Amino acid sequence: MANIILAIETSCDETSIAVFSDDNLLSLSTNTQIETFSKYGGVVPELSSRLHVDNLLYVYEAALKEADVSSKDIDYIAVTVGPGLKGSLLMGINFAKTLNMILNKTIIPINHLQAHIYSLLLDNVIKYPHLSLLVSGGHTDLVLLENELQFKSLGQTLDDAVGETYDKVARLLDLPYPGGPGIDKLAKTGQDTYNLPYPKNDLTLDFSFSGIKSAAYNLVNQKKMKNEIINKNNFAYSFQKRIITVLENKVELAKLKYQPQQISIVGGVSANSELRTTFLQNFSDVLIPRVEYSTDNAAMIGVLANQKIKNKKVNANLKINVFPDLKVENIV
Ligand code: KG4
Ligand code: ZN
């Protein structure tokens, strides 16, 4: 009999539930809070938690219906336990625990960052050693997987994450939250005319984006004070070019040092069209999840849970807890 896995993701502003039958994704149901938070210019944690409560039951029912399974069929409940917003994570975890009080099955805690990497398995085969660039709203990590489910962080951001930097620079250009897609779109018809710095473009595997963010703020403010108009397309292009160049250079450095069989970009920023094109052109054997699996979703939670079951890495006696600051290499 196939294992039925129910997967729950609520770490930030998406309420998402997926149903798997072993390796097969049967359904994915997601309610995004993006529209609400675009009015606020960013996620309001307290409101996000309340929206998860409002939506979890509907999203759950829709996922079961689409998969054509009943709650009695569920064998495992996989749930994101971190990193993310504490209140939002707790809503998903409490939902999983409540459901499990009725069903009495096994809960599988999932590290959201590891799940972003395993989102690749939804469409591809992962080859090891594998080098993954994880770029999301909250994280920027270069990760080496020597083998299945073995995560080693090679470098990370010392300050802001890439997605966060996109969001802040987008706000400066009066674009809605989340800002990544807006900058992506503007940059398509822009040119490199603004002299922004290449952030931490050195020989280490760490990143830093606060410098380019401050430079962008200073440049825009100076122009505003002089009543000069910013060409948003060119600004977006100039900003994005520097970000992508540095990401590419760091991956090249890690590739030379660790000789992976395969490279990937995962996480919300991997939806960026120019980043995708650059990596596909300049590296061989690159995997990138399709756009709907790049940003937060429960399919990646379920696919990682299934790998953990197959590799007998599920600890049935574990106490399920919330870990807002979980790192990519942390086992849960
Ligand atoms: O992985 P994700 O959905 O949530 C986190 O775990 O953080 O990533 C969200 C981030 C946001 O900062 C958003 O602006 C960025 O991904 N993003 C993009 C694009 N689409 C989403 N950044 C650049 N270009 C895009 N097309
Ligand atoms: Zn994420």
pLDDT bracket for residue 39 (50, 70, 90) = confident
Alpha-carbon gap, residue 75 to 3, rounded angstroms: 6
Give the mean pLDDT of 99-127. 97
3-state secondary structure of 153: strand
Amino acid making up residue 136: S
Segment 211-220, tens digit of pLDDT = 999 999 999 9
3-state secondary structure of 26: strand
Q: Closest by alpha carbon to 165, among 132, 214, 95, 202?
A: 214
Q: Which atom of ligand 1 is nearest to the CA of 178?
A: 14
Give the containing element (helix H, strand E) for 115: helix 112-118
pLDDT above 80 (res 316): no
- 40-48: long-range pairs with CB below 8 Å, 24+: 40/177, 41/171, 41/176, 41/177, 42/167, 42/177, 43/12, 43/13, 43/85, 43/177, 45/85, 45/86, 45/87, 45/88, 46/87, 48/12, 48/13, 48/85, 48/87, 48/88
pLDDT at 269: 97
Give the distance (Å) from ligand 1 centre to CA of residue 154: 21
pLDDT at 318: 75
pLDDT bracket for residue 227 (50, 70, 90) = very high
pLDDT at 257: 98
Strand order in the sheet with 76-82: 24-32, 14-21, 4-9, 76-82, 106-111
Q: Closest by alpha carbon to 5, among 19, 15, 16?
A: 19
pLDDT bracket for residue 306 (50, 70, 90) = very high
pLDDT at 226: 95
pLDDT at 315: 78
Give the mean pLDDT of 283-310. 96
At which residue do the structure tokens 């939806």 appear?
271
pLDDT at 86: 98
Segment 129-179, tens digit of pLDDT = 999 999 999 999 999 999 999 999 999 999 999 999 999 999 999 999 999
pLDDT at 317: 65
Q: Is the CB of 289 under 6 A from ligand 1?
A: no
Q: Is the CB of 179 under 6 A from ligand 1?
A: yes
Cβ-contact 220, 172 below 8 angstroms: yes
Mean pLDDT, the chain, as a whole number?
Answer: 96
Residues around ion ligand 2, judged by CB within 5 A, are 136, 296
Q: Is the CB of 163 under 6 A from ligand 1?
A: yes
Give the containing element (helix H, strand E) for 166: helix 162-172
Q: Is the CB of 272 under 6 A from ligand 1?
A: yes
Give, as one character, the DSSP assignment of residue 207.
B
Ligand nearest to the CA of 239: 1
Give the mean pLDDT of 49-60. 96
Alpha-carbon gap, residue 212 to 190, rounded angstroms: 18
Ligand nearest to the CA of 175: 1
Ligand nearest to the CA of 136: 1
Q: What percentage of the chain reaches a pLDDT higher than 70?
A: 100
Tokens matching residue 325: 């600051």
Q: Is the CB of 84 under 6 A from ligand 1?
A: no
Give the distance (Å) from ligand 2 centre to CA of residue 222: 34
pLDDT at 95: 98
pLDDT at 38: 85
Supply the pTM of this predicted model: 0.96
Q: Is the CB of 16 under 6 A from ligand 1?
A: no
